Every structure is written in structure tokens, then in C-alpha cells.
């Protein structure tokens, strides 16, 4: 048996039809951003873009709440959120967020972006999710309108639908999530193995001929097939567009670690480097105009990854999240790891979460450094970061850790705690995001009034 490596250039090379451009090389002063007018061929100069960053297993009770003044002004973030402190003025922390119809590791993950309930029998999360609504609205303008990525799963539940899906294109249709940075890059900027458009035309004809012959249920499958072919066509067109090459050149000048001539490591050994690469790709996708929005799972729901890449941490993430139990013998504990006290276990749990906050802070750094028409990518973006569980041990369903970062093109006023008396559905935040990005939605999930961002 020969075991080919994915995407290994062979006799069937992944053709890269991008023309090499050098006009920006060495001209540091002339760094040009994609959404500066001269280089933006489509859409408004700097549309508002969105990203959702999901993390599993929640945070320990009391590890999210900031210090704020009476008027809601953020004074200091929670100490476990120290890495994000440098972005405090760009953050809004809404209190008392909850999801009325789906909670926990499975249902909560599946419905985090849909505002619906989870039916495990029909695999229905009441999609489409908020990111896909945006992607569908702006499908004509982007090669991958709604990018969907995550880290590669580890341990139990790494293949389970509900714990591995936040993005749904329709009820019962999870969006494929790419986990390999090189493949994400190919998805955005690579032409595919054979950019043969006449073959694609022929395939479309075959599918259309079939559509006349099949039942309604089968027609849905064929329409997914047509969508898949069209997405490949879009990709080819995007890659052959000279502006795309110029965008990539500019990104390289600005320090994004992508260069057409240098292969990207598939999945780096070091988990920090891996996640960093994926988040850099998010910044690149949004900034280059390849995508309007991106949904990212920093890890899959109920992740039981060994977080030994975080200093002074032992055990799996999910085991740590049950921080009140130190026996070392709960659920997915390995029976080898034990903790001396609740306090030490909670500290490790916090450390894992803080480590992920740091990756998010680095993404925000990156977005703030990418220039665009009167501002930065971050100024024109809305980044939602949170989990579907509050306290991991309690499987808490109220006060879900949630924060919003960025300027949303002026719609979002940062540095604030949105103090609220009653529970607020996450649907209202999603509705606000839809509107900020330019989707004229009347309602989302159970919400008909958006969360006030200004």
C-alpha cells in the first residue's frame, strides 16, 4: 500500500494559476490594502465583516466578569482575561446571555449560531446559522463567503455531528469545517487539482438532467451537488483574478505568514502555532475579500484534548472543566492525572481558558494592524467570542461567557459592559450582527429586537 500525503504535488499537481506579481516587492511604503479603493473591484470600499470564535467547556464561575463603572464603562477585565486587557477599549461584554432552546456540550454547540433547538434524530439545529445567512446574502461577492474552520478534534466526540458543528447552511446540513491550514489556504487561493471549467459545465448538465428524474428528497441532494460545483467555479474565477494576487502580495508585506512560494505546514506539531496559523488565515480571508465572515471552533464541543501545551497544566480540557471534582476519576479523566485541590484544578482550568484568550488577543492585534479605508480591518469587523456553557462543572446554562470585539464600521462602541437585569437571548446579538453586516433581517431565532451595540 502506498500512502500518499494529502496535497502532495505529484503528477497531478495542485495547479496554482496565480500569476506571480512583484510590483509591491520592496516598496514598503506602498503597502496597499485590499479594501483600499484602488484594489477593491467588488462591493463597498470596506464592508463590515464578522467572525465567531467558539470555545468549549465554558469558564469557571467568576472567571469572566469584569470590573466596570456605574455607567457600564469597563475598568478592568477579569484577571483570567488579562491577555485581552490591551483590547479593552474595543470590547463589549454583554451580561446574562443565554440560549433559550439549546444548551450544553452537544445541543449548545450545534445551536450556538442558529438560535434554534437541537433534534438529534433529524440532526436539525434549526439552521441556517447566522454566518451562513450572511454568506448566502453576499455569495456573489466572495470566493468562500462564510469560512468555516476549526482545530482537528482529539478524543471522545471528535466525530460527533452536534459537537463538531456550529455552522449550518440549512436545517440538517452542517457546513464542512476545514482543520488543515494548508487546505484552508487552498480553499481560498488555490485553484484545485484541475481547473477545467468545461468539465464542470458538463457535470452541471448531468446533475440538471438528473434533477428532472428524481423525487423531492433526492433533488435536495442534487442541489447540494450543484452548489458544490458552483463553489469550485467561484474559486477558479477568484484565483484567476489578478486582484487576488495583489491582495496576497500585500498580505505578505504586512507580515501574514503566507507566501505562494512557500508551502504552509499542514498541521503544525505545536498547538499554539497551529491555532495561530488558522486565526491568521481568518484575518487573511476577511482582509483579502475572500470571505465576508468566518466561524471558528477553537476546539470541538466537550473537547477532551490534553492541554499540556499550556504551562503547568495536566489533564484534559473537559476533565479540568469539572473543576470541583478532584478525584481524577470522573468521566473522561485518564485515571492517571490527579489534582491536589479544587483550587489547583480550577487554576489549571483557568489557565487553559486564558491561553485561548491570548490566541484571540493575537488575532485582534493582527486585525488592528491590517489597514483599510480610514482604519483597520478590526474597525470594520465584529468579532463574537464565547462558549455555550458558563461554569463547566455545573454545565451552567445562564450567563454564557460572551464578548464582542471590533468597531463594526462605527456601529459598535467599545469599552463597555452591557449590564442587564434580565436574561438576554443570544439570538438578539446574532440579529444585531446580521444588521451590522448589512443583512436586513427582521428577526433571528426568537428575537425581533437586536441587542443595542452603539
Partner 1 sequence: MLNGQKHNARRPSGWIAAVPLILSAGPAPQHRGASSVDDPVTEGRSVIELVCVECHDGDEAEAGFDVARLIRAERAAEHLFEWRRAGAMIETGAMPPPLRSGRGGGLDNDDRASALAFLGAVEREALATGGAAGAEPARRLTRDELTHALGDLLEVEVDVAALMPPELVAENSFDTNGATLFIHGEWLQRADVAVRVAIDAAFPDGPSPGRADGFALAPFLRRAFRRPPSPEELVRYQDLRAARLAGGATAEEALRATLFAVLSSPHFRLRLEDVPERPVEGERAVSAHGLASRLSFLLWAGPPDERLLDLADTGELGEPEVLASEAARLLMDPRALRFARSFAGQWLGTRRVGREFKPDPIDNPAMTDSLMADMRDEVARFFLMLLREERPLDALLLGEETFLSEELARFYGVEHPGGDVARVEAPELRRGLLGKAAVLAATSYPDRSSPVLRGAWILDDLLGTPPPPPPPGASEFDEEAFEEGEARGARGILERHRASPACASCHDHIDPLGFALDGFDRFGRRRDHDDFGHRVKATGALPGGEEFHGPEGLAGAILRDRRTELSREVARRLMRFSLGRPLEWSDERTVVELGAVLEGHGFGALIASLVTSRPFTRIESR
Question: Does 338 sit near partner 1 (CB under 8 A)?
Answer: no
| DSSP structural state of residue 265 | P
For residues 15 and 351, which CB has a smaller minimum distance to partner 1 in the complex?
15
Is 201 among the residues that bind partner 1 (CB under 8 A)?
Answer: no
Interface with partner 1 includes 193 (CB under 8 A)?
yes
- Beta-sheet strand order (sheet of 402-405): 146-150, 293-297, 49-54, 381-386, 402-405, 91-94, 416-418
Contacting range for partner 1; rule: CB under 8 A; set: 30-38, 85-93, 171-179, 252-260? 171-179
Scanning 195-203, 255-263, 398-406, 428-436 for contacts with partner 1 by CB under 8 A, the matching segment is: 195-203
183 forms part of the interface with partner 1 (CB under 8 A): yes
**Helices in 327-425 by DSSP H: which ranges?**
342-369
In the block, residue with C-alpha cell 485590499: 34
Q: Are 183 and 176 in contact (CB under 8 A)?
A: no
Helix/strand/coil for 127: coil
User: Binding residues for partner 1, how many (CB under 8 A)?
Assistant: 70
* 171 near partner 1 (CB under 8 A): no
Q: Which helix (H) or strand (E) holds 424?
A: strand 424-425
Q: Does 446 bind partner 1 (CB under 8 A)?
A: no
Q: Are 261 and 21 in contact (CB under 8 A)?
A: no
* Residue number with CB closer to partner 1 (12 or 73): 12
Separation between Cα atoms, residue 185 and residue 4, nearest integer Å = 20
Q: Which part of the chain contacts partner 1 (CB under 8 A), choosing from 43-51, 132-140, 193-201, 381-389?
A: 193-201
3-state secondary structure of 88: helix
Closest separation in Å from C-beta 307 to partner 1: 15
Angle at 244 (CA atoms; ends 43, 283), nearest 5 degrees: 75
Q: Which of 210, 237, 267, 273 binds partner 1 (CB under 8 A)?
A: 210
Nearest CB to partner 1, comparing residues 184 and 348? 184
Grid cell, residue 301, equals 464541543
Could you give the CA distance from residue 187 to residue 191 in angstroms, rounded to a whole number? 8
Give residues 88-127 in contact with partner 1 (rule: CB under 8 A): 106, 120-123
Single out the residue of 27, 38, 45, 224 in contact with partner 1 (rule: CB under 8 A): 224
By beta-carbon proximity to partner 1, the closer residue of 45 and 228 is 228
Residue 237 binds partner 1 (CB under 8 A): no
Instruction: Kindly write out the interface string for residues 123-142 of this chain, putting x where it contacts partner 1 by CB under 8 A and - elsewhere.
Output: x-------------------
Residues 412 and 55: their CA atoms lie apart, in Å, by 23
Q: CB-based contacts of 71: which residues, under 8 Å, 6+ apart? A: none
Asked if 309 interacts with partner 1 (CB under 8 A), we say no
Which residue's CB is nearer to partner 1, number 85 or number 325?
325
175 binds partner 1 per the rule CB under 8 A:
yes
Contact pick of 49, 173, 416, 430 for partner 1 (by CB under 8 A): 173
336: cell is: 492517571
Instruction: Answer whether 407's CB lies under 8 Å from 380's CB.
Output: yes
Identified binder of partner 1 from the candidate list 29, 140, 159, 421, rule CB under 8 A: 159
Q: Please classify residue 170 by burial: count the beta carbons closer than 10 Å to its beta carbon, then call 0-12 exposed, 13-18 middle and 19+ buried.
A: middle
Q: Which of 17, 41, 42, 206 binds partner 1 (CB under 8 A)?
A: 206
Q: Which stretch in 4-12, 34-42, 133-141, 240-248 sits in contact with partner 1 by CB under 8 A?
A: 4-12
Of 31, 39, 203, 362, the one binding partner 1 (CB under 8 A) is: 203
The x, y and z cell numbers of residue 283, run together, are 484575518
Tell which positions 44-63 bind partner 1, by CB under 8 A: none
In the shown chain, the binding pattern of residues 280 to 299 toward partner 1, with x for contact by CB under 8 A and - for none, equals --------------------
* Cβ atoms 412, 94 nearer than 8 A: no
Q: Tell me: does residue 340 bind partner 1 (CB under 8 A).
A: no
Count the neighbouring beta carbons within 10 Å of the beta carbon of residue 437: 25
CB of 350 to partner 1, least distance (A): 21
Residue 71: CB atoms within 10 A of its CB come to 8
Q: Is 2 one of the binding residues for partner 1 (CB under 8 A)?
A: yes
Q: How far apart are CA 289 and CA 377, in angstroms?
A: 11
- In angstroms, the CA 288 to CA 241 distance is 12
452 near partner 1, rule: CB under 8 A: no
**Crossing angle for the helix pair 426-437 and 130-137, to the nearest 10 degrees:** 20
**Beta strands 97-98 and 146-150, pairing class:** unpaired
Q: Figure out which of the listed residues 82, 229, 237, 423 binds partner 1, where binding follows CB under 8 A.
A: 229
Residues near partner 1 (CB under 8 A) are 1-4, 6-7, 10-12, 14, 106, 120-123, 155-156, 158-162, 164-165, 172-176, 178, 183, 187, 192-194, 199, 202-203, 206-207, 210, 212-218, 221-222, 224-225, 227-229, 231-232, 235, 322, 325-327, 329-336
Amino acid at each position: 500500500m502506498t500512502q500518499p500525503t494529502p496535497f502532495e504535488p505529484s503528477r497531478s499537481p495542485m495547479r496554482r494559476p496565480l500569476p506571480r506579481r512583484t510590483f509591491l516587492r520592496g516598496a514598503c511604503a506602498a503597502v496597499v490594502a485590499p479594501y483600499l479603493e484602488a484594489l477593491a473591484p467588488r462591493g463597498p470600499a470596506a464592508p463590515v465583516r464578522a467572525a465567531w470564535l467558539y470555545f468549549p467547556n465554558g469558564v469557571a464561575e467568576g472567571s469572566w466578569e469584569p470590573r466596570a463603572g456605574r455607567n457600564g464603562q469597563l475598568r478592568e477585565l477579569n484577571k483570567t482575561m488579562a491577555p485581552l486587557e490591551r483590547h479593552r477599549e474595543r470590547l463589549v461584554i454583554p451580561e446574562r446571555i443565554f440560549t433559550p432552546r439549546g444548551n450544553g456540550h452537544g445541543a449548545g454547540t450545534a445551536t450556538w449560531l442558529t438560535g434554534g433547538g437541537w433534534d438529534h434524530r433529524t440532526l436539525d439545529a434549526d439552521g441556517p446559522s447566522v454566518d451562513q445567512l450572511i454568506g448566502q446574502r453576499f455569495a456573489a461577492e466572495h470566493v468562500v463567503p462564510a469560512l468555516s474552520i476549526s482545530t482537528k478534534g482529539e478524543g471522545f466526540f471528535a466525530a460527533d455531528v452536534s459537537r463538531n458543528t456550529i455552522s449550518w447552511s440549512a436545517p440538517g446540513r452542517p457546513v464542512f469545517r476545514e482543520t488543515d491550514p494548508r487546505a484552508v489556504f487552498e480553499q481560498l487561493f488555490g485553484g484545485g487539482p484541475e481547473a477545467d471549467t468545461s468539465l464542470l459545465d458538463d457535470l452541471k448538465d448531468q446533475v440538471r438532467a438528473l434533477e428532472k428524474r428524481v423525487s423531492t428528497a433526492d433533488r435536495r441532494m442534487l442541489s447540494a451537488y450543484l452548489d458544490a460545483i458552483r463553489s469550485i467555479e467561484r474559486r477558479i474565477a477568484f484565483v484567476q483574478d489578478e486582484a487576488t494576487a495583489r491582495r496576497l502580495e500585500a498580505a505578505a508585506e504586512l507580515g501574514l505568514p503566507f507566501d505562494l512560494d512557500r508551502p504552509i505546514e499542514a498541521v503544525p506539531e505545536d498547538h499554539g502555532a497551529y491555532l495561530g496559523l488558522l486565526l491568521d488565515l481568518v484575518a487573511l480571508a476577511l482582509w483579502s475579500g475572500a470571505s465576508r465572515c468566518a466561524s471558528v471552533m477553537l476546539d470541538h464541543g466537550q473537547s477532551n484534548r490534553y492541554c499540556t501545551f499550556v504551562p503547568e497544566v495536566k489533564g484534559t480540557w473537559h476533565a479540568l472543566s469539572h473543576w470541583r471534582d478532584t478525584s481524577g476519576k470522573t468521566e473522561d479523566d485518564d485515571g492517571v492525572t490527579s489534582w491536589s485541590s479544587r483550587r489547583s484544578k480550577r487554576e489549571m482550568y483557568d489557565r487553559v481558558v486564558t491561553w485561548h484568550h491570548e490566541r484571540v488577543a493575537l488575532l485582534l492585534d493582527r486585525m488592528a494592524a491590517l489597514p483599510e479605508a480610514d482604519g483597520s480591518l478590526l474597525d470594520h469587523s465584529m468579532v463574537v467570542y464565547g462558549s455555550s456553557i458558563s461554569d463547566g462543572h455545573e454545565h451552567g446554562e445562564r450567563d454564557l461567557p460572551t464578548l464582542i470585539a471590533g468597531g463594526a464600521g462605527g456601529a459598535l462602541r467599545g469599552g463597555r459592559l452591557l449590564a442587564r437585569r434580565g436574561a438576554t437571548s443570544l439570538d438578539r446579538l446574532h440579529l444585531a450582527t446580521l444588521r451590522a453586516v448589512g443583512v436586513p433581517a427582521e428577526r433571528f431565532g426568537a428575537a425581533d429586537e437586536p441587542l443595542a451595540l452603539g
